Amino acid sequence: MKKNLLLLTKKITISSIAKIALTLIIITYSLIPHVAKAQIKVVPPDSIQYQGELYQKIKAKSTYPKVVGYLSFILPLETLTVSTGKFSPNFSDHTSSIGFPIGINVLYSDKFGFSYEITPTVKASGGSSKMSNLLFDPGTMFRFSHGFTIISRLAFETSGRYGFTPVFNQVYARTKDVNYFVALSLPTRFGESEAATVGLNLQIGFTFN
C-alpha cells in the first residue's frame, strides 16, 4: 500500500513539474517580442545621431551637382564709350547686331553654380550680314530665391576685345521641361587699341530641366 502511494506521489510530482516547466516556457516565448522591442533605442530629434541620420537621408536624395543646358538670343541695346561719354545705340546708321548665347550651367547647390557660355554674333549692315564675332564668357553663378541669379562672367572675343560682364538673370516662367528667363547684362570691354566701353544688353532664353 505504501509503495503504491509513493509511486502515485512521484507521478503527481513529475506531472506538476512538467506542467510548471511548460508554463514557464510559454511565458518566456511570449515575452521575447516585448524584450526585443524594449531593446530598440529611441533617438531624440535634437541628438547628434538623429541629425546625422537625417543628413544622410537628405544627402542621398540630393540632385546636385546638376548640369543644365540653355539657348537664348541677346540684343545689344546701348554702348557707352568711356573716354568720350558717347552712347551708340544698336540700331543706328542702318547697322544692327544680334547674338545667340548657347551655354551649360553646372549647379552645385541652390546657392552656387558655374556657367560656360559661347555667343556667336551676327551683324547686319548695308544690306548684307555676316558673323562678326565669337565670345567665350565663363562665369560664377550666385543663385537667390525666386529664380534670381547674378552671374559674374569673364569675356574673351575673337575680335581681340576682352573684359568682364555682370549679368542679372530672372526666371519668369517654369514648366516641366524648360524654364524661361530674361537677363540684363553690362558688358565691359578693353583692348584691340580701342577705348574702353560699357554696354547694356537684353537676353531672353530658356534652360532645359
Report d(CA 81, CA 68) in Å as an integer.
35
Domains identified in the chain, total number: 2
Are 78 and 36 contained in the same domain? no
Are 113 and 167 contained in the same domain? yes
Are 129 and 186 contained in the same domain? yes
Are 75 and 24 contained in the same domain? no
Among 20, 41, 61, the domain-final residue is 61
For position 174, what pLDDT does the model report? 96
For position 80, what pLDDT does the model report? 95
For position 162, what pLDDT does the model report? 98
Determine the 3-state secondary structure of 19 from DSSP.
helix
For position 205, what pLDDT does the model report? 98
For position 93, what pLDDT does the model report? 75
Q: Are the CB atoms for 109 and 93 separated by under 8 Å?
A: no
Residue 209: other Cβ atoms inside 10 A: 11
For position 94, what pLDDT does the model report? 80
Grid cell of 110 as nine digits: 541652390
Q: What is the CATH number of the domain that holds 133?
A: 2.40.160.20
For position 71, what pLDDT does the model report? 98
Are 132 and 194 contained in the same domain? yes
Q: Domain containing 80: what range?
A: 66-208
For position 20, what pLDDT does the model report? 59
Determine the 3-state secondary structure of 85 from DSSP.
coil
Tracing cell 543646358 back to the chain, one arrives at 69
List average pLDDT for each run of 10 residues in the chain, which is 209 residues long: 46 54 58 46 55 56 87 96 92 88 97 98 91 97 96 97 98 96 98 96 97
Report d(CA 178, CA 187) in Å as an integer.
26
For position 40, what pLDDT does the model report? 44
Report d(CA 155, CA 72) in Å as an integer.
17
The residues near 157 (Cβ < 8 Å, ≥ 6 apart) are 133, 134, 135, 136, 189
For position 5, what pLDDT does the model report? 43
Are 50 and 107 contained in the same domain? no
For position 90, what pLDDT does the model report? 85
Among 23, 40, 61, the domain-final residue is 61
